[in-house]
Amino acid sequence: MSYTPERMTPLNACRLGLDTHQEPTIYLRQDSPVCRSEGFSALSRVLVRTEQRHLIATLHMVTGELLMPGEIGFSESAWKRLELREGTSVWLSHPKPVQSLSYIRSKVYGNELSQSELKEIIEDIVAGRYADVHLAAFITACGDDKLNIREITDLTTAMVESGSSIEWGLPIVVDKHCVGGLPGNRTTPILVSILTAAGLTMPKTSSRAITSPAGTADTMETLTNVSLSLDQMRTVVEQEGGCLAWGGSVKLSPSDDLLIQVERALDIDSEGQLIASVLSKKIAAGATHVVIDIPVGPTAKVRSQEAAEVLAANFKTVADTLGLKITTLFTDGSQPVGRGIGPSLEARDILAVLKQDPDMPKDLYQRASEVAGAVLEMVQGLGPGEGYKKAIEILNSGAAWEKFQAICHAQGAFKRPPIAPYRYELVAKTRGVVSCINNRKLAKVAKLAGAPADLAAGLDLHCKIGDPIEPQQTLLTIHAESSGELSYAVEYLEDHLDIIELAKDK
Amino acid sequence: MSYTPERMTPLNACRLGLDTHQEPTIYLRQDSPVCRSEGFSALSRVLVRTEQRHLIATLHMVTGELLMPGEIGFSESAWKRLELREGTSVWLSHPKPVQSLSYIRSKVYGNELSQSELKEIIEDIVAGRYADVHLAAFITACGDDKLNIREITDLTTAMVESGSSIEWGLPIVVDKHCVGGLPGNRTTPILVSILTAAGLTMPKTSSRAITSPAGTADTMETLTNVSLSLDQMRTVVEQEGGCLAWGGSVKLSPSDDLLIQVERALDIDSEGQLIASVLSKKIAAGATHVVIDIPVGPTAKVRSQEAAEVLAANFKTVADTLGLKITTLFTDGSQPVGRGIGPSLEARDILAVLKQDPDMPKDLYQRASEVAGAVLEMVQGLGPGEGYKKAIEILNSGAAWEKFQAICHAQGAFKRPPIAPYRYELVAKTRGVVSCINNRKLAKVAKLAGAPADLAAGLDLHCKIGDPIEPQQTLLTIHAESSGELSYAVEYLEDHLDIIELAKDK
């Protein structure tokens, strides 16, 4: 091989402090001799080597004075993956063609992908050999229903095998997933409390918000410490039967994290990739029994009962093959659940339900008990409705509330969620009945107010579909940590008063 | 509307001198208040406004000290499109969702795209509303044969209408295109000389190399000035009947330039997009009669006679509908044409053919005459073979050579191609017959030697398939402008001696 690093004059690494997210990026001066000799140009894929490590990165060119001759700049992700220090010697060359890209082309031509082809694709994705445009091609080629059940099953297995897995050594480890989150639908912490109080094991890892005003990890962060190592997580679970941790620190199904960012940008639904994404995370986390909550509604991810049934059937077939027990649940996806939207406000709702506060949001109490009931019926052999009854009993008895506090303490702290100093109330101008609530626009108001970065920011919704409304009645309250952000959210709200639609009284 | 630029505190523009190629990119500090309030994160698509202009850009975050608080950095493409100066006030907001992305999703679900949908997609691409991942999704969704003839026709029209067009006001304007270039297959300058000498109008615009060792524009640049404005091009064509200009300065079918870069990265063939790409450029350039050269061979883009015939038939159907006359030609794609590979070396071959040098590469002479003959037969009503005969006559008479010099002078100069000072000869170690030549690896050697940036760099191939070879006979010569590049190319060559395969003597 002529491209041994030793042969070429090395470049000196320079940290530029640029965050290009997951795509490792390098920066070279346009007049760099290596660009000329290797024929590199902007967006070239380049194999970057140090004496210890290597990765494939995308090249951006520098025409200004950002770099000195002989220097090579790095994005943060590239800098960290290569474990660089300032001035580390770096060699560049052309990467070998990525063989698995030809399987994606083959999928475009309508061919079925074999088990080994899917495995190679996922391995290359995890190794960083795919640029974002390649991920986009993979997602598009598998879009709609272009993966059959066998392919989905093999894809799931490949995704599990590409990362770490947790072994609990127990016959029953439960988990849940909700397809397409509704604002405020923060049932997970309540669920974990009920189910661990019922004696089950539920080592729950959750994500932070990516495009929503709050993820379960953001909400739990207002109440306890969520950045647990795998060892800390094990200790908490052994002690309390469950945990409520952030999934980011444990590398489960890492290809999923890479794909999901591009999937969001494209907004192309692939049923196969959705199923593989959800089930691979659950299997890697060591779950044996999983309940899948599928909210159905006009602004939810799944919009019709028929679509929900097809999705549920396919989830079931793939899970069966992989030895995972699942139950699917169809729930109402027409409006937010609970009152608060935003980390602290959702945490307050969760505490109200757990504490059985008379003023608690009934729909969240109801929803959490239903999902918990489905899990209990699945694993404890209870008849229809008995699980729900048992969940309600556990909540009402205060056992779930005690369990929740114990888990928080085991995770290192039980904190009070912060409260935002700035408020704005939207009042009804006319009499009427709430006929429609726009989930998407509500989420936008909460984000403009500062959620999730400002933990106390967001909004409180004071009405539900069907509620009669009097003039001057408060419909929602915006919470913000700064007056600038408050006015920002208010301006948007005033231009989008159709967020809550009122129909004339009957 | 609450998002009028006036309402928000503007950011100050800062030129970072980063070339991210076509994708406009902006850079913000991670602690920038606008990131928090708008919920922007790395890779967000952001609407960037100045008082005069706006565009959609991709956001990269800066974690270091590259930017001061209140500053926003710009890539070169974003800087130029917004016509910024240091410190220009800039406002950011969320772009409206791009409606046409839903048509791409619809294509993924197997639906046909309407004329207006295709038009909107192309308009959004030209307006810069698509990130590279969206272009990748569009290319993938249309891959293989997923566009029908009606869709290809409407796509072609949409691509033409999205950019400028040239009107020549003449009944016959000829052009040519070669599908999948072979190294050295530089027939275009000879063709233009023959056909304009025959009295035809051929206003030829060509591209520079993107992944190959030379484009026609690179080769012509060693002989004359190729950066002509549209007005200069008109003057040259009015005077000489033809030109040999670089297409980069005239904005014909601009969406094609954006798509082609991502198509290369993906290497996904879409017959529909290939046809639309080629025909849209020709129609926008004002051509009425076009010959399409389709090289067929094991390492060419089109690998079998059947594939070539299907492609030719579809080219014809679409061209017919759009009122463009075309002739397709199947040529030998199994090895390079001519001797030189690289701008200057190809220019030398072209001059040899035009001057009728006894040592000229016969295959290039032959190939150029065949393609020119096909054009003459198409537009001058000549019988089969008569066009070829006429082309040979024009070449042999010296009329093409005179015309070529006249066109170069009209373009501002007739220069002598530069010669490289460093050489390396590869000699045969054994006796044998040339059985196989690897086009791709030959191109790689020429690029490592410095082509196309170093105009004189590249290689000369001294043998063709079927040639008997004696031990110590020179098979190829590498040319380089620096000793470093020469040794670079030699190292690669020595590791890839299968570039030219010899079979044992019969």
For residue A298, the model assigns a pLDDT of 80
Note whether A373 and A477 are same-domain residues: no
Options A132, A269, A332, A467, the catalytic residue: A269
Domain CATH number, residue B365: 3.40.1030.10
pLDDT beyond 60 at B384? yes
* A303 assigned to some structural domain: yes
Task: Write the pLDDT tens digit of every residue in A101-117.
Answer: 999 999 999 999 999 99
**B265 closest CB neighbour out of A66, A131, A140:** A131
What are B34-45's pLDDT values in tens digits? 876 677 777 788
Kindly tell me if the per-residue pLDDT of A1 is higher than 50: no
Q: Name residue B154's amino acid.
A: D
Residues B209, B322: one domain? yes
- The nearest alpha carbon in chain B to A75 belongs to B62
Q: What's the domain range around B480?
A: 422-503
CB A289 within 8 A of CB A173: yes
Say if CB B342 and CB B322 are below 8 A apart: no
Q: What is the pLDDT of residue B2?
A: 35
Sign of CA dihedral B164, B168, B173, B175: negative
Euclidean distance between CA atoms B54 and B77, whole angstroms: 13
Helix (H) or strand (E) holding B445: helix B439-448
Cβ-based contacts under 8 A for chains A and B: 177
Kindly state whether residues A391 and A467 are assigned to the same domain. no
What are the structure tokens assigned to A365, written together? 């109490």
Count of domains for chain B: 4
Domain identity same for B138 and B190: no
- Asked whether residue B283 falls in the same domain as residue B369, the answer is yes
B132 contacts in A (CB within 8 Å)?
132-133, 136
**Mean pLDDT over each residue of chain A, to the nearest integer:** 91
Map residue A187 onto helix, strand or coil: coil
pLDDT tops 90 at residue B21: no
Query: Which CATH number do you get for residue B128?
Result: 1.20.970.10
What pLDDT is stored for residue A181 in this prediction? 65
Q: pLDDT by residue (tens digit) across A425-449?
A: 999 999 999 999 988 889 889 988 9
Domain membership flag for residue A438: yes
We report the CATH number of the domain holding residue A39 as 2.40.40.20
- The strand ranges marked E within B413-456 are 422-427, 432-437
Distance between CA atoms of B297 and A445, rounded to whole angstroms? 60
Catalytic residue among B124, B256, B267, B269: B269
Pair A396, A335 in one domain:
yes
CA distances for A268 relative to A145, B115, B134, angstroms:
11, 22, 10
Distance, in Å, from the CA atom of B21 to the CA atom of B43, rounded to the nearest integer, reads: 16
Dihedral in degrees, nearest 10, Cα atoms A379, A381, A387, A393? -90
Could you tell me if A227 and A343 lie in one domain? yes
Closest approach of B225 to chain A, Cα-based (Å): 23
Residue B454, class by beta-carbon neighbours within 10 Å (0-12 exposed, 13-18 middle, 19+ buried)?
Answer: buried
Give A65-107 pLDDT, tens digit per residue: 889 989 999 999 899 999 999 999 999 987 877 889 999 999 9
Of the candidates B167, B124, B429, B389, the one whose C-alpha atom is nearest the C-alpha of residue B258 is B124
The closest alpha carbon to A361, from A185, A481, A131, belongs to A185
Final residue of a structural domain among A356, A382, A410: A410
Rounded Cα distance, A228 and A225, in Å: 8
Residues of B in contact with A210 (CB under 8 A): 41
Rg of chain B, C-alpha, whole Å: 25
Co-location of A327 and A223 in the same domain: yes
**B417 falls within a domain:** no
Structure tokens at B224: 């004359």
The answer, yes or no, to whether residue B376 has pLDDT greater than 80, is yes
B interface test, pick of A15, A38, A60 with most B CB neighbours within 10 Å: A60
A154 catalytic residue (yes or no): no
Same domain for A455 and A399 = no
Q: What are phi and psi of B323, to 5 degrees?
A: 75, 20
Mean pLDDT, residues B400-422: 97
Q: Is the CB of residue B480 less than 8 Å from the CB of residue B457?
A: yes
B117 and B156, same structural domain?
A: yes
Q: Do A144 and B110 touch (CB under 8 A)?
A: yes
Instruction: Label residue B8 by pLDDT band (50, 70, 90).
Output: low
Based on the fold, state whether residues A436 and A406 are members of the same structural domain. Answer: no
- Give the three-state DSSP class for A350: helix
Pair (B87, B61) in one structural domain: yes
Over the stretch A445-465, which tens digit does the pLDDT of each residue have?
998 898 988 899 999 999 999
How do residues B291-345 score in pLDDT, each as one tens digit?
999 999 887 788 899 999 999 999 999 999 999 999 999 999 889 999 999 999 9
